[in-house]
Amino acid sequence: MIDVRLYKTFRDADAPFCLDVDFSIGADNKTVALFGPSGSGKSLTLHCLAGLVRPDKGRISLNGQVLYDGADAVFTPARRRRIGYMFQDYALFPHLNVLQNVAYARSGCFARHLRREEKEQAQGMLDRFAIGHLARQMPGRLSGGQRQRVALVRALNAEPELLLLDEPFSALDTLLRERLREELLELFAALTIPVIIITHDPDDVDAFAAAVILFDHGNAHPVPEYMALRAGFASAGRCLRHLQQTFASRNESVPSPRG
Amino acid sequence: MDFFSFSIVSPLTLSLRVAGLATFFSFVAAMSMAWLLARRKGPLPTFLDAACTLPLVLPPTVLGYYLILLVGRRGVIGQWLNEVGITLIFSWQGAVIAATIVVFPLLYKSARAALEQVNPHLENAARTLGASEWRVFVSVSLPLAWKGIFAGLMLAFARGMGEFGATLMIAGNIPGKTQTLALAIYDAFQAGNDLLAARLVILTSLVCVSLLMAAELLTTRRPR
């Protein structure tokens, strides 16, 4: 169960932006998609959730634990939130090999020196995800798909309670994207934690999401009963376009209370 | 052959010692400042950045003057040090202080630029994996910024070797005690000892060239 209420403004002269989102994700929705054009505040929302950006006000709670509360000045730093984050460019540490990358969440200050049990544990994780043979490779030599898998294993090795994926396929070409989507789906089947995925590809929504939150100019619109709605459309793209138009017209006719 | 006579060896070892110690002290201070100020915006960071860069643009004599106000016999800190029995004026330790201030901006600027070039996603990834800010710095930022920082170190050391103005103001020009290479060259030239001046000039050039070459070799040995 995740409750998110965020408010943050950027008073940049050339691009003022205001993030104002309010949504909650029930325990039943395993994977939720944040769908919307780039610049609509999806990444910023995930950054706030993970504790990498501090909102101006609002409240974030995960499984009953308050991670941020603007009114009570509660702010749990990213390192204690137990939220896994897979970045768009995968953000593997280029100076560490795959094993050291995966062990990072459990190793000491000098990430190159692993104790034996840390090595064995990380190797075990790699084996479980069928990439044990990559342990000694440097990230620069991996293919896009291998990088993604290493990033996922590294995030899971920290034993997160929630997993955030920021456009996991945007760095890949179309055919590879198809294949990796299937692979990732299989891996997700074994997960017991909720996943939030950012995407602007309707096919991703179709493949992963049981629920959708539509993003638009810094606002979030949770879609009630997305699966039922989706059944009435020929493709996810049409369904999402229809939803976008609905919310857009609603915004025009009813001005939002905060202007 | 008196090439390695006292008049050459003494300034050389003193210069190396002063530049080495100054680079070391400056390195510690500059890294802390660069870490604190990297990617920070706002009036206070901008002011601190300007203050850290100031020694680069101020004439060394002005720095020397400020330092005398600070650590001179009647200076703010100097008075107190005097009571404990430490005199920095006209001592080689004073030359170290002068050189530390002069090389600080070089180290600070290159360290800050190198740290800011590290992909922020990598640092954020480390944070979400449970790393403290200190561990993020030691295990991610520092190894990835190391090349730029190392270049700054070499630059700072070479600049420390050539430090003249502030050193002259605070440590004076005492042969065998505070006379560094740069001061010895000036001294020899003024005294009309052209041969000694020429030897010292060649020696200084050789030391600096080999330093820069060593730096280049060290940083390109393992390409990443």
pLDDT level of residue A29 (50, 70, 90 thresholds): low
Model pLDDT, residue A91: 94
The predicted complex's ipTM stands at 0.88
Give the Cα separation of B47 and B63 in Å (integer): 18
So what's the pLDDT on residue A126?
93
The Cα of A122 is separated from the nearest Cα of chain B by a number of Å equal to 14
- Cβ of B129 within 8 Å of Cβ of A80? The answer is no
Determine how β-strand A195-199 pairs with β-strand A31-35: parallel
Q: What pLDDT does residue A257 have?
A: 45
Chain B residue with the nearest C-alpha to that of A51 = B128
Q: Which CATH number fits domain B6-220: 1.10.3720.10, 1.10.287.470, 3.40.720.10, 3.40.50.300?
A: 1.10.3720.10
* Percentage of chain A exceeding pLDDT 90: 37
**Among A56, A110, A84, A79, CA closest to B143:** A110
Q: Looking at per-residue confidence, does B4 or A30 come out higher?
A: A30
Task: Convert the pLDDT of each residue in A204-232 to its tens digit.
Answer: 888 888 888 988 888 888 887 888 888 88
Upper half-sphere CA count for residue A251 (Cβ side, 13 Å):
15
Q: What are phi and psi of A165, to 5 degrees?
A: -120, 120
Nearest-by-Cβ selection for B121 from A51, A91, A95: A91
pLDDT at A13 over 90: no
User: Is the Cβ of B144 closer than 8 Å to some Cβ of chain A?
Assistant: yes
Chunk chain B into consecutive blocks of 10 residues (it has 224) and report each block's average pLDDT, rounded to whole numbers.
Answer: 67 92 95 92 92 92 91 84 84 92 94 94 94 93 92 90 89 87 91 91 90 80 52
- Minimal Cα–Cα distance from B121 to chain A, Å? 6
Chain A residues in contact with B134 by the CB 8 A cut-off are 109
Verify whether the Cβ–Cβ distance B124 to A78 is below 8 Å: yes
pTM score, two decimals? 0.85
Q: Beta strands of chain B (E only): which ranges?
A: none
Note the pLDDT of residue A233: 85
* Out of A52, A109, A158, closest to residue B135 by CB: A109
Spans of all domains in chain B: 6-220
Q: Which residue of B has its CA nearest to A151?
A: B125
Query: Is the predicted pLDDT of residue A258 greater than 60, yes or no?
Result: no
CA distance B91 to B104: 20
Total CB pairs under 8 A between chain A and B: 67
Q: Assess B156–A contact: CB distance below 8 Å, yes or no.
A: no
Is A105 in contact with B130 (Cβ distance < 8 A)? yes
Q: Which residues of B touch A155 (CB under 8 A)?
A: 128-129
